[in-house]
Structures are given as structure tokens and as C-alpha cells.
Amino acid sequence: MFPGLGGMNPAKMKGMMKQLGINQEEIDAEKVTIEKTDGSKIVIENPSVQKITMQGQSSFQVAGNIVEQSAEAFSEDDVKLVAEKTSHSLEKARAALEETKGDIAEAIMKLSD
């Protein structure tokens, strides 16, 4: 973060950062999920999360195993609804919704034939 301070003891470094008004805090997290505007998600599993506060602004530094999930056109509630209305399993309801690109009515009709 500061050139020439790489060999400095971490406690001393933390003290200097505090003097500069920079506070760093470890956040104990199991998983971090970022929901993107296109509906897809970035999931960071087993993350190392640092909250850094400087001049009243907080930012987060996250590192870990990254998994990207594409957007689904339907939710688990949609799957349950189709399964209930058609008396089919959740797996069949999910498959019908995937096939119909999330169209609930079409999925119900498809399983009702």
C-alpha cells in the first residue's frame, strides 16, 4: 500500500494507517454474492474480506474462489408453483421452466398434457 514499507511489522503498519485515518477490519464471511444488473451473479466462496474505512468512505477488498452464475429466467418459487399446479416433481417443473425459458404458463401447460 505504501512504497518502501513492505518489510515493516504488521502491528506498526496498522498503527501508521490509523494515524492517517485509515481503519482496516477483517470481516468473518462464509460467502460473498454480487448480484449483477443482468441477473447473473458472482459468488466468492471461502472469502477473505477486508473492510477499509478512509475519510468516512468504506470499501471492501474480497479474495477467494470465484464462481460465476448465469441469470436464470425463473426463481425457486416459480419451480414450486409449477410443481404444485401440475402435481409433478420439482425436478420436472425446473426442467419445464428451463425448456420454456421461464414461462410459467407454458411450463404448466407442457406438464399438464
Q: Which fold has domain 76-112?
A: Helicase, Ruva Protein; domain 3 (1.10.8)
Within 1-113, residue ranges assigned H as helices are 10-19, 76-86, 90-99, 104-112
Is 83 within 8 Å of 92 (Cβ atoms)? yes
Number of Cβ within 10 Å of residue 109's Cβ equals 13
Instruction: Fill in the DSSP letter of residue 33.
Output: E
Band (pLDDT 50/70/90 cuts) for residue 77 is: very high
Domain ranges of the chain: 23-69, 76-112
Q: Which fold has domain 23-69?
A: Ubiquitin Ligase Nedd4; Chain: W; (2.20.70)
Query: Would you tell me the crossing angle of helices 104-112 and 90-99 to the nearest 10 degrees?
Result: 120
Q: What pLDDT does 5 receive?
A: 59
- Whether pLDDT at 53 is above 90: yes
Q: What is the mean pLDDT of the chain?
A: 89
The predicted model scores a pTM of 0.56
What would the pLDDT profile of 15-42 be if each residue is shown by its tens digit? 888 889 999 999 999 999 999 888 788 9
